[in-house]
Structure 1
Amino acid sequence: MGRMLVRAESDRTCRVRMFPERKHSNLLDMVHGAVTLALIDIALFAAMRTLLNGNAGGSVTLELSSQFIGAGALSKPLDAVVEVMRETKRLVFMRGTVVQGEGDEHLVASFSGIVRKPSAK
């Protein structure tokens, strides 16, 4: 995936940025859908680690639902903005968007996901 940046935007929202390169492209010279899905999955775990002060190691994605809305350009950073909706003892429920451009003007995808925390040992 290359270089990525992670930052908390609030106590419930996290932004994960990747910098698309040629290797991330599809035949139309846009960001490949599989790369967008990988960014989303990585962002779920980055949000857990950043916002919930926990180690996401050992956690697993139980469910990931995504909707592709627009194409991602290779020329701009691609951001996954994740919101933690609810945390229980075993699960974390999240949702978010993948956006590009100043002010997040271009919507690439939306998503929701459920991550199961690791079992206590």
Structure 2
Amino acid sequence: MNDSIEEPKRRDNFSAEEVGDGWVSWNLKDPSRFNSFIEPLSVRVEAPTPDGRPCARVRMLPQRKHSNLGDNVHGAVTLALVDIALFAASHQFGALDAGHSVTLDLSTQFVGAGRTGEPMDAVVELVRETGRLIFLRGLVVQGAGDEHIVLSFAGTIRKASKR
């Protein structure tokens, strides 16, 4: 292996274009990958939590193709949003910038049904970062003022090995 060749940075795989109001696109450049099913996605760094923890918001726009037979957002779509949001938020926090990191665990609790036709946001808080791990938690919300809670979550990312 040639040590002079660096692994491409994670952002090389994503569009990272300003889309207004502090939002940045978070869409794969390769539309044949899984993420494209719930794109377009965007991410925005939010004000830190009251105790100073970094916070970010990752937004999708659920459509009919994301719905179940009850005309609500399918739970698997919401889970996909959360998993992708862990990485998008971690990247925005500066905690994750290269390689093929992986989700170690993801715990979720469905609280309400997601609604199609209105933005659905995963609000992600950085709980702790170590040399190899990133611990995160948050809520998936909809509505003005985030009054409709769809899901709560906690997850851990294992950072890619540096070679």
Q: Is TM more than 0.5 here?
A: yes
Task: Please report how far the alpha carbon of residue 4 of structure 1 lies from its aligned counterpart in structure 2 after TM superposition.
Answer: 1.0
Moved segments of 4+, more than 6 Å? none
Distance 1:86 1:35, change over 3 A: same
Asked if residue 10 in structure 1 is aligned to residue 52 in structure 2, the reply is no
The normalised TM-score by structure 2 is 0.72
Aligned 1:61-72 pairs, distance under 5 A: 61-72=103-114
1:78/1:99 contact within 8 Å kept: yes
Distance 2:98 2:147 in 1: 30
Q: Sequence identity, in percent?
A: 60
Deviations 1:19-71 (A, max 9, x none): 00110000100000000000000000001110125315310000000000000
Matched to 1:50, the amino acid is: Q
Distance in 2 of aligned mates of 1:20 and 1:75: 6
Residues 56/41 of structure 1: CA separation in 2 closer, same or farther (3 Å cut): farther
CA contact (8 A) 1:45 1:56 kept: no
Letter in 2 for 1:75: G
CA separation of 1:45 and 1:24: change in aligned 2, threshold 3 A: same
Q: Deviations over 1:2-28 (max 9, x none)?
A: 211100003500000000011000010
Change (3 A) 1:65 1:53: closer
**RCO higher in structure (CA 8 A, sep ≥6):** 1
**Larger of the two Rg values belongs to structure:** 2
Cα RMSD, aligned residues only? 1.1
